Structure 1
Amino acid sequence: MKLSKEVPNSSSYQHLPAKVLQIGEGNFLRGFIDWMIQEMNKQGVFNGSVIAVQPTPHGKVLPKLAAQDYLYTAVLRGRKNGETVDYHEVISSISGGINPYSDWPAMKRVVESADLQLIVSNTTEAGIVYQEEPYAGDVSPLSYPGKLAALLHHRFTHYEGAGDKGLYILPCELIEENGKKLKSIVHRVAEDWGYSEAFFEWLDHSNVFCDTLVDRIVTGFPRGQEAEYRERLGYDDELITVGEPYHLFAIDADERFKDIFPLHKAGLNVKWGGVQEQRDLKVGLLNGPHTLMTPVGYLAGADTVLGVMTTPSLRSFVEQGFLDIQEALPMKEEVKKEFTSGVVDRFLNPYNKHFLLDIGMNSFFKYTSRLLPRLKTHAVRGELPETLVLALAALLVYYKPVRTTEKGLIAERGGEEYETRENPVVNTLLLDTWQAIEEGRITILAAVRSILSREDIWGEDLDAMNGLAERVAAHIETILIEGMAAAVKKVVGSGSVKS
């Protein structure tokens, strides 16, 4: 039996008014925001539902959600307050879904609703970027900021600029000042499209773009455990979403929003304000180590975070990485150590299979936002931590293509192919560069210099960082000739190299 409305479950909240438009329907939002909304609905403090939106033209999740009547199972497994948690629940906070690329008018109808109060998103770090694109009004823009600009303008027009019809915008993407950045890009897109001064006035004074920070490890579908879950649940669910019990939502918002979205009244771990310090800790000491370990661990033969943490050499590499990252963060030592200790416990959660290939999506953006700031801090001090340098070298090898598809580059580990996900600019660069290396038209060092110098990828010329290209190239040669295990062995315990 497949999960649907015909499967008995404790409660349904799909009849509640659609107060949330959610750009994205992936594992994280389902295991975080939609679960939180269910918790608030269970306690009668929110009383609203979600319309989920497919964020890209090639999305696969929305049809699966629709086939299950927009129901899915959230599974939380791990430790909380010293107790083992192993809990599951059918989540019914999503009342509908829209593919904007096939039904843009439906998106317009949603933002015409007086029930709508907020727009949330998780389009990855790669989603909040400026993209010059046309908009004629009848077809969805491709970028998320483009969609948001068009939808806000439609709501402005529909309500004739009414000041009380603005929305709260909550981006969950892991970039610094995500609300402010999203707002600035929406401004730029609206300027491209020649929107009126009255619209900009309404955009700035009737809408609130909130800086946020989200924290929960959500591993998604439990691949390889389908039979176990079928027996446990009594039904098939293609969208089981597994995560850890721990969660944190930090939001910079006004007092009114606390009443509109009262997470605290449902006993959820929300921090109103203080986003920047929480972000620096989380991005630095949870997301950073994830990005650090992914290409290194995967090319060394591990498939999951737990696999990395239970392989002695890889765990030593990650632990050295934690120390290198800590040294580049400005918080008090006891704060950093306490946070790191908690993260290590979360990484060692035996219940969650957090696949490295999932973490590896859009890794160039992730390295830039999560690890590059730490590398730059060390570089100013005249040192290059080998953990951060090896992670960068491994990243370039991780994307070494054996062939391409319309979705991206296909790479290989131990004779088995795996899919990667990156933006087209990076894919083209890596495809051309690796081809030139293999044909002998360019040396590895020259190739590394060429890649590091791309300001459009890194935001600056990394080849100007003294000694970085040489160290990255040396690690790549070790990986290609001796293997990743040998590269890790050379790094563990080596610390930082003075430049």
Structure 2
Amino acid sequence: MQQLNIAIDRSQISNEVEFKMEEVKLPEKVIQIGEGNFMRGFVDWMIHQMNNQGLFNGKVVAVQPTPHGKVVPKLLTQDCLYTVSLRGIQAGKRVEKNEIITAISRAINPYTHWADIVTLAESPHLEFMLSNTTEAGITYYKENYNYKESPLSFPGKVTAILYHRYLAFEDKAKSGLTIIPCELIENNGDRLRELVLQYASDWNLPQEFIDWVNEHNKFCNTLVDRIVTGYPKDELDHYSKTLQYEDSLLTTGEPYHMFAIEADEDIAEKIPFHKAGLNVKWGDVTPYRELKVRLLNGPHTMMFAVCYLSGVDTVLEAMTDETLRSFIEQGINEEIFPMVNMEKQEKEAFVTSVIERFLNPYNKHFLTDIGMNAVYKFKSRLLPTLQEYVSQNQKLPDAIVFSLAALFTYYRPLRVEGDFLIGKRGEQEYTIRDNPDVLLQFSRAWNKVDSNESSIETMVTEILANQELWEIDLNLIPDLTQTVTTDVNHIVNNGMRVTVMKKMKQVTR
């Protein structure tokens, strides 16, 4: 079986694979820091779609973000070609599309080939910088500047690249870049600019350069949304038969995608994702962040403990369980949906896509993974909805409050093991992963209950009062303490499955 490479014979490509190759060499318009699964299956896939339609006509140079990366050698071996396989549910139907992506022109390890990065920074064709270095990438790391070597940190690399570019052009006003970070932190563009300016100050770079960064480079806040599951190591037989070639960078993901970019019309015209039929939103990203956090991330947090303690392991299993699906849809449709401030038609379309994503048979989205750092997730994803629901309706949202009681029960430890707690579902143990302070609070509180030193009501009251966890005293929300206490008691005494079935029967009466 052949290795994927640029000289591949089109006649040997299976009909299951779409492969389009530009006949004309395109200029390198994008420097991309980060070459992992997400960028290859999201941004580079998008640029490929634009190039195929003659809308962008530019290539990406992929840059390794850390010293220990393994992707660049694989890209170089495959002439920067790789396959994206998108599988899931669309319009109620199961779909699978395999496509060879040709957006990347070359890949560079900056720690061994920094001179190549400098040459690229000086290119008149370069217009954009894109990135995904994980949330940990947009952080400060004190380091010295050596113009002959790559900085270690991501913001340091951005600063050095911009400084080389600043020095290379006489017309400063026309030499700036549009910088579009894809890291999953709020206001990622603003934060990256702050760090670049901090590095410029640390390194005593000229004030004129700092002015140029502020005046002629655009840092865009963004929001990205697509599940990219990466290399399908458990399904290689399927892909070997389907593709008829080997691809060490085969990248799988879901069909759904959304990219919100806080930028003006001028930038949208230069990199016109939307004209290629892609789900890209230009302008303020705030409403789309709320849409995603509340109607996608919120239901994930709402379901994880209820469904896991009911005996299922994945989102898909929960959605194919009649009782659990009723619980999930009650929370989405009746409690979260009305609290999202956006045009109804767009909200409805998003909810439809969320349900399809939850039903994706190709994604094993484990509930215990969703349950990592669940206290923070509840505070950020569900608590604002709970508070607004109470304010508007003068009553508690049943599903959201029940999910809080389920979270309390999920955090009941059997024992401490290293940095984590171990819980128990029936005869099966599971790992409770969260901030050490959070785990300590729950461990101490449950230990008092289990040793009869305290009641469940006292435990619930103490934890709800902890403003280090929630930022407010949740006991001040009318009826919340008693309702959570009652629900926890029912779960402990009767089990989750029996309790949630009883609740859903009460709802349907």
- Give TM-score scaled by structure 2 length: 0.74
Distance 2:366 2:248 in 1: 17
- Structure-to-structure mapping, 1:235-274, within 5 angstroms: 235-273=245-283
What is the aligned partner in structure 2 of residue 212 from structure 1?
222
Query: Are residue 388 (structure 1) and residue 400 (structure 2) matched?
Result: yes
What is the aligned partner in structure 2 of residue 134 from structure 1?
142
Distance 1:480 1:15 in 2: 65
Residues 384 and 416 (structure 1 numbering): CA distance in 2 closer, same or farther, change over 3 Å? same
- Assess if the C-alpha contact under 8 Å between 2:256 and 2:353 holds in 1: no
Residues 435 and 293 (structure 1 numbering): CA distance in 2 closer, same or farther, change over 3 Å? closer
Q: What secondary structure does 2:269 align onto?
A: helix
Among 358, 364, 371, the residue aligned to 2:382: 371
Distance 2:76 2:424 in 1: 35
Among 303, 320, 328, the residue aligned to 2:339: 328
CA deviations 1:178-233 (Å, max 9, x no partner) are 43454455445655666553333212211112233444444444464332222111
Q: What secondary structure does 1:225 align onto?
A: helix
- Assess if the C-alpha contact under 8 Å between 1:76 and 1:244 holds in 2: yes
Query: Are residue 281 (structure 1) and residue 291 (structure 2) matched?
Result: yes
CA drift at 1:285: 1.8
- Structure-to-structure mapping, 1:270-349, within 5 angstroms: 270-273=280-283, 275-322=285-332, 323-333=334-344, 335-349=346-360
- Range with bigger deviation, 84-93 or 441-450: 441-450
Structure 1 residues not aligned, in runs of 5+: none
- Structure-to-structure mapping, 1:348-497, within 5 angstroms: 348-356=359-367, 366-378=377-389, 380=391, 383-391=395-403, 397=410, 403-404=417-418, 427-430=435-438, 432-433=440-441, 436=444, 453=466, 460-461=471-472, 466=477, 484-486=496-498, 488-489=500-501, 492=504
Residues 188 and 351 (structure 1 numbering): CA distance in 2 closer, same or farther, change over 3 Å? same
Query: Are residue 37 (structure 1) and residue 47 (structure 2) matched?
Result: yes
Residues 83 and 470 (structure 1 numbering): CA distance in 2 closer, same or farther, change over 3 Å? closer
Q: What secondary structure does 2:350 align onto?
A: helix
Distance 2:71 2:373 in 1: 18
Q: What secondary structure does 2:130 align onto?
A: strand
CA drift at 1:369: 4.4
Residues 205 and 476 (structure 1 numbering): CA distance in 2 closer, same or farther, change over 3 Å? farther
Q: Which amino acid aligns with 1:336?
A: K
Distance 2:242 2:171 in 1: 52
CA drift at 1:412: 6.5
Q: Which amino acid aligns with 1:344?
A: I
Q: Which amino acid aligns with 2:436?
A: T
- Cα root mean square deviation, aligned: 4.6
CA deviations 1:413-446 (Å, max 9, x no partner) are 75777788x8xxx543345446646765997866
Distance 1:58 1:462 in 2: 45
Distance 1:59 1:479 in 2: 46
- Assess if the C-alpha contact under 8 Å between 1:169 and 1:209 holds in 2: yes
Residues 452 and 27 (structure 1 numbering): CA distance in 2 closer, same or farther, change over 3 Å? farther
Residues 201 and 85 (structure 1 numbering): CA distance in 2 closer, same or farther, change over 3 Å? same
- Assess if the C-alpha contact under 8 Å between 1:219 and 1:354 holds in 2: no
Structure 2 residues not aligned, in runs of 5+: 11-18
CA drift at 1:325: 0.9
Residues 133 and 90 (structure 1 numbering): CA distance in 2 closer, same or farther, change over 3 Å? same
- Range with bigger deviation, 440-449 or 300-309: 440-449
CA drift at 1:475: 6.2
Distance 1:434 1:3 in 2: 52
CA drift at 1:155: 3.7
Structure ID, larger Rg:
2
- Assess if the C-alpha contact under 8 Å between 2:313 and 2:366 holds in 1: yes
Q: Which amino acid aligns with 1:329?
A: V
Q: How many residues align?
A: 484
Residues 291 and 256 (structure 1 numbering): CA distance in 2 closer, same or farther, change over 3 Å? same
Distance 2:151 2:462 in 1: 35
Distance 1:462 1:56 in 2: 42
Percent identity for Structure 1 against Structure 2: 45
CA drift at 1:288: 2.6
Distance 1:161 1:356 in 2: 54
CA drift at 1:55: 5.2
CA drift at 1:167: 1.3
- Range with bigger deviation, 228-237 or 347-356: 347-356
Q: What secondary structure does 2:83 align onto?
A: strand
Residues 163 and 484 (structure 1 numbering): CA distance in 2 closer, same or farther, change over 3 Å? farther
